[in-house]
Amino acid sequence: MVTLKDIAERAGVSIMTVSRVMNDKKGKVSPETSERVRRIAKEMGYIPNSTARSLAARSSKIIAVILRDEPATNPLEIPYNAAFLGKIVKILPACGYSIMVHFVQNFSDVTFWLKSWNAEGAIFLGIFDREIRQIRNDNQIPLVFTDSYSNVRRINNVGIDDYKGGQLAAECFLSHGHTRLAFAGPISSGVIAERLQGFSDRLRSAGHPLLPEQTHAFPDRSAADILKSIRESDPAPTGLFVTSDNAAAEFYEAARRAGVSIPDDLSVIGFDDFPVSQMLTPALTTIRQDMEEKAQQTCRILLDRLNNCSSPSEILCLDVNLVERDSVRDLRPPAASPSPLTGERGESGVTP
Amino acid sequence: MVTLKDIAERAGVSIMTVSRVMNDKKGKVSPETSERVRRIAKEMGYIPNSTARSLAARSSKIIAVILRDEPATNPLEIPYNAAFLGKIVKILPACGYSIMVHFVQNFSDVTFWLKSWNAEGAIFLGIFDREIRQIRNDNQIPLVFTDSYSNVRRINNVGIDDYKGGQLAAECFLSHGHTRLAFAGPISSGVIAERLQGFSDRLRSAGHPLLPEQTHAFPDRSAADILKSIRESDPAPTGLFVTSDNAAAEFYEAARRAGVSIPDDLSVIGFDDFPVSQMLTPALTTIRQDMEEKAQQTCRILLDRLNNCSSPSEILCLDVNLVERDSVRDLRPPAASPSPLTGERGESGVTP
DNA sequence: CTGAAAGCGCTTACAG
DNA sequence: CTGAAAGCGCTTACAG
């Protein structure tokens, strides 16, 4: 292993001079020695020791990405998490940071692990609302959360307009003549609660309130189960809003097994606009969130705070929009003219 | 920040004693002092400094996961990579290791980065066949590759029986009466070359050789393009073997747009048996590889070598099998009895 | 522009 | 069972 000392000896200078050259403290070293040291370092194949630098400078250049984990699941099998992490690993190492990934079930691990590695910043994927205050108090480094609806002040968060997403789904159903609707998703999370709220508020104001028994807890109950409940209701809902494209895909599968046709027997709207939504048959109408933008903003906020620790905290809310494809049946009588609601916000989807 | 020194002072012992207690060198410290030190450490909220330990002990407890990256793509949008990485992050931290993730386009980064962090081991996802010899020579730490067909000796690799996978796909088509077939995949990679070889060998031995013009480079050419070529061939193939479920999904989409019915106009077999294969309509017949097992074995091999650096190198080849679903049409005349080929290896797929 | 000194928080190796 | 010394490879802070 080549160290600063080895280079210093060969170059006939002190360790300090070599250190300065390696850290590009220009103007602090004469061009000639700088040049010579650089050449020798290259010849010798010098590789700076990050752990030594981290210890001495108290600056690890490590960013931690922390994903909420549940027993018997794999957080990276959720395409959203995987793609988001991928974007982070594309962006931050290009700025000189190394990425450590950690799954947490018990959040007390988080602080221990961050401090142990002297991480300079952290990004949180998944719902940490209940622990967010303590995490922030325990860690005085830049922290960026995503999709949090915590009311704690002075945290950084990048989220989307989930409420509007719910509204858009409701509007899309209404504008196609649907009035009896159902909802399925993991109701306990803040994000989903907002989507549900937007959905039911919009339905209520249109005079077609969402019935309590048509709010289904998924995946607590299986898609097949929920589908059965929906179909057996009287009168049965004609449309189902599902809180992720992947969950929607499970409903597609359940529908196929049950001989229920989408959209003829049941219309479906998803959420995310991930690739799977285009792979489904019929292609899924969904609420699009811009994951790339979200990841980019998350990294941007983190980098801002890394460079200037007094930057104000930011809570970002990115826009969402409706992507119309083929999973919502038009129930309007042929005579009816298109509703203005669709025209305003809808995006033309692809039709075979 | 609480250090060993702080605890030592409070406990009235030397730093060394505290260090011994913290590292569980039992039998080296009297039970009473050990107990007392442990209590004080807990009271003071001691968190060991991993970077200091790493520097002093030359043992970082860092495992690097290195993914092959291409410009303008996101390696973690490939479900296989994401799920694999997720499994790793489930397994290795439970054994006391921290995971760093790195994407590489230029492989000379790899060594620099591994050495800089003094990583204790590394796992490679993606094709590194051409660089594998040099990577192994440059890094004297345990390295585990996946899906490599490199002929370099003394590397660790976990792969699957790609050749057999190709054979199984061919057999499945043949046993359903298909004789004119096509292949689509990224032909340059070793893994895919094996699948193609198995596929075409089996077809040839059955007297229905794969025509050169029916080997299509995907995604070099778009699914829509390839589909068009296939449909316009004369005589047109009745079955298409695609080298991943996700690629198959793209062909489904292209088929839908082109008004081509699967399996009536074209039968399709995929590879991987990822969740998407069940989401497609019709559900995809595919060659299953056990990703969980693969990840587990990869970690096992790495841990073996971490614990005993003289363990012999291992090249593992995991089995694959056919999962029959609904994307292969039966072309046999009604009178024909089921082929023995299907009975032996086929797994009954789900039928609505 | 350059360097000698001290120290980051820990472990190894030796002495008792 | 316990500790004093030296050192891991680097940076900070000071002196010139």
With beta carbons less than 8 A apart as the criterion, state whether B147 and B320 touch. no
In chain B, which among 63-122 make CB contacts under 8 A with chain A?
Answer: 69, 74-77, 79, 81-83, 85-87, 89-90, 93, 98-103, 112-113, 115-118
In this prediction, residue A148 has a pLDDT band, given cuts at 50, 70 and 90, of very high
Query: Considering only alpha carbons, which residue of chain A is nearest residue B253?
Result: A279
pTM of the complete model: 0.90
Average pLDDT, consecutive stretches of 10 residues, N- to C-terminus, chain B (352 residues)? 92 92 80 90 94 94 95 92 97 95 89 95 93 92 94 92 97 97 90 95 97 94 96 95 95 93 97 91 95 97 90 94 97 66 44 40
Q: What is the pLDDT of residue A349?
A: 42
Say yes or no for a CB contact (<8 Å) between B281 and A276.
Answer: no
Q: Across residues A347-352, what is the average pLDDT?
A: 42
Residues A322 and A342: their CA atoms lie apart, in Å, by: 9
DSSP H helical ranges for chain A = 4-11, 15-22, 31-44, 50-57, 79-91, 108-116, 132-138, 162-175, 190-205, 223-232, 245-258, 276-279, 291-307, 340-345
Q: What are phi and psi of B124, to 5 degrees?
A: -110, 125
Q: Position of tokens 């790339």?
A: A292
Single-letter code of the amino acid located at B185: G
Given a contact cutoff of 8 angstroms between Cβ atoms, the answer to whether B318 and B293 are in contact is: yes
Q: Could you give the 3-state DSSP secondary structure of residue A332?
A: coil
Angstrom CA distances, B344 to A57, B201, B270, B324, stand at 64, 19, 20, 12
Å between CA of B19 and C1' of D4: 15
User: Would you state the pLDDT for residue A335?
Assistant: 62
Q: What is the pLDDT of residue B279?
A: 85
Which residues on A lie below 8 Å from B279 (Cβ)?
249-250, 252-253, 276, 279-280
For range A291-315, the mean pLDDT: 93
Q: Which residues in chain B, range 4-43, keep a C-beta under 7 Å from any nucleic strand D atom?
A: 13-17, 20, 27-31, 33-34
Euclidean distance between CA atoms A20 and B230, whole angstroms? 63
Nearest CB to A48; choose among B81, B85, B116:
B116
Work out the pLDDT band at A345, boundaries 50, 70, 90. very low
Residue A341 scores a pLDDT above 60: no
- The upper half-sphere exposure of residue B316, i.e. CA atoms within 13 Å in the direction of its Cβ, equals 21
Handedness of CA A7, A11, A12, A13 (dihedral sign): negative
Q: In angstroms, rounded to a whole number, what is the distance separating the alpha carbons of residues A106 and B169?
A: 44
- Amino acid, single-letter form, for residue A168: L
- The 10s digit of each residue's pLDDT in A246-275 is 999 999 989 988 999 999 999 999 999 998
A244 DSSP assignment = S
Q: What proportions of chain B, in percent to the nearest 5, are helix, strand and coil?
A: 45, 15, 40
> Which bases of strand D have any atom within 7 Å of the beta carbon of a protein residue?
1-5, 7-13
pLDDT confidence of residue B337 = 54
Q: Taking all atoms of strand C, which protein residues have CB closer than 7 Å? A: A 13-17, 20, 27-31, 33-34, 52, 55-56, 58; B 1, 3-5, 15-16, 19, 22-23, 48-49, 52-53, 55-57, 59
3-state secondary structure B285-326: EEEEECHHHHHHHHHHHHHHHHHCCCCCCCEEEECEEEECCC
Q: How far apart are the first and last CA of chain B?
A: 61
Tell me whether residues A52 and B55 touch, CB distance under 8 A.
yes
| pLDDT surpassing 50 at residue A347 | no
The pLDDT, as a whole number, for residue B345 is 41
* CA–centroid distance for B345 within its chain: 23
- Let me know: does B328 contact B185? Beta carbons within 8 Å: no
Q: Which segments of B162-280 does DSSP mark as H helices, in order?
A: 162-175, 190-205, 223-232, 245-258, 276-279
pLDDT recorded at residue B347: 45
pLDDT for position A188 = 77
CB-based contact A90 B101, cutoff 8 Å: no
Mean pLDDT for A304-314 is: 89
Helix (H, G, I), strand (E, B) or coil at A122: strand
Select the residue from A73, A280, A293, A325 to test the B interface by mutation, using most B Cβ atoms within 10 A. Answer: A280
C-alpha pair distances (Å), A132 with each of A80, A143, A329, B247: 21, 10, 42, 40
How far is the C-alpha of B327 from the C-alpha of B345, rounded, in Å?
A: 17
